[in-house]
C-alpha cells in the first residue's frame, strides 16, 4: 500500500490537492475535517461536541479523531492506499496512527508538507468563508486561532516525520495544477 500524509497549515490546500491525488493514484481520501463536518451535519452526539471546538478554531480531542480514523482504515484495507488529509494533527495522533498501521502490517510511506505563508493562508480562508458557510472561515480572529493551534500542536509533527526520514516539503503557492505536479513528482520518485 502507498500511504501518504498530506500536511500543511489551515488553508494550505490539503483538501484541494487530495481530491486530485486520489484520482491520479486511486487512493482512499481520509479527511478528518470532512468526517467531522459530516458528523456535525448529521447532528450526532460526536458532531455536536466537535462543532463548538471547530467553530472556535480549536482542535477536537485526540481520542475522538483517532477512533474515527481507526474504523475508516480498517474498512479500507483492500485499497491501493490512503491519503491522510488533516490527520495526524498532534504528536499523540501520529503515535496512535503508527501503532494502528503497524498492527495491520502497513506503514506511512511519506509525509508531504505544503508550505504557504501566513498572509496567503488568511486570504484563502477569508475568501472561502464568503460562501462556504463555515464558521471557522468567517472571522480573522478564528483563523488566527487555527494558525496558532497549528503552530503549537501540529507543526511539531515535522520533526516527528523528519526523524522517520519521511518528510518532504513542497511549495504550496502558485496554481492548483502547478502544486499538483510538484506533489506528483515527489510521489512518483517513491512509487516507481
Residues that bind ligand B4P (CB under 6 A): 8, 10-16, 32-33, 36, 53-54, 57-60, 65, 86-87, 89, 93, 124, 128, 136, 146, 176, 179
Residue 37 bears catalytic tag: no
From the candidates 56, 128, 153, 166, which is the catalytic residue? 128
Shortest distance, CB of residue 178 to ligand B4P, whole angstroms?
8
Shortest distance, CB of residue 77 to ligand B4P, whole angstroms?
21
Residue 14 bears catalytic tag: yes
From the candidates 37, 56, 134, 153, which is the catalytic residue? 134
Q: How far apart are CA 171 and CA 77, in angstroms?
A: 31
CB of 174 or CB of 191, closer to ligand B4P: 174
Q: How far apart are CA 171 and CA 162, in angstroms?
A: 17
Residues 42 and 34 sit within 8 Å (Cβ to Cβ): no
Shortest distance, CB of residue 140 to ligand B4P, whole angstroms?
14
Compute CA distances 112 → 4, 8, 109, 156, 187, whole Å.
7, 8, 10, 14, 9
CB of 110 or CB of 142, closer to ligand B4P: 142
Q: How far apart are CA 108 and CA 162, in angstroms?
A: 13
Residue 146 bears catalytic tag: yes
User: Could you give the angle at the alpha carbon of 55 between the alpha carbons of 52 and 21, nearest 5°?
Assistant: 120
Residue 134 bears catalytic tag: yes
> Percentages helix, strand, coil for the chain, rounded to the nearest 5?
60, 10, 25
Residue 124 bears catalytic tag: no
> CB 95: neighbour CB atoms within 10 A?
14
Shortest distance, CB of residue 48 to ligand B4P, whole angstroms?
14
CB of 38 or CB of 191, closer to ligand B4P: 38
CB of 25 or CB of 180, closer to ligand B4P: 180
Residues 87 and 93 sit within 8 Å (Cβ to Cβ): yes
Which residues have a catalytic role annotated?
14, 89, 128, 134, 146
Amino acid at each position: 500500500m502507498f500511504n501518504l500524509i498530506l500536511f500543511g497549515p489551515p488553508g494550505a490546500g490539503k483538501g484541494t490537492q487530495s481530491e486530485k491525488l486520489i484520482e491520479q493514484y486511486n487512493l482512499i481520501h481520509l479527511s478528518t475535517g470532512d468526517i467531522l463536518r459530516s458528523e456535525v451535519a448529521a447532528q450526532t452526539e460526536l458532531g455536536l461536541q466537535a462543532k463548538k471546538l471547530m467553530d472556535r478554531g480549536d482542535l477536537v480531542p485526540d481520542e475522538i479523531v483517532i477512533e474515527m480514523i481507526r474504523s475508516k482504515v480498517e474498512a479500507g484495507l483492500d485499497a491501493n492506499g490512503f491519503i491522510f488529509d488533516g490527520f495526524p494533527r498532534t504528536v499523540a495522533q501520529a503515535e496512535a496512527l503508527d501503532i494502528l498501521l503497524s498492527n495491520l502490517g502497513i506503514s506511512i510511506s511519506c509525509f508531504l508538507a505544503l508550505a504557504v505563508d501566513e498572509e496567503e493562508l488568511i486570504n484563502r480562508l477569508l475568501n472561502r468563508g464568503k460562501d462556504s458557510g463555515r464558521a471557522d472561515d468567517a472571522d480573522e480572529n478564528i483563523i488566527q486561532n487555527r494558525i496558532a493551534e497549528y503552530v503549537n500542536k501540529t507543526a511539531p509533527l515535522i520533526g516527528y516525520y523528519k526523524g522517520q526520514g519521511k518528510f518532504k516539503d513542497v511549495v504550496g503557492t502558485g496554481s492548483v495544477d502547478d502544486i499538483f505536479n510538484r506533489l506528483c513528482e515527489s510521489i512518483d520518485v517513491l512509487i516507481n
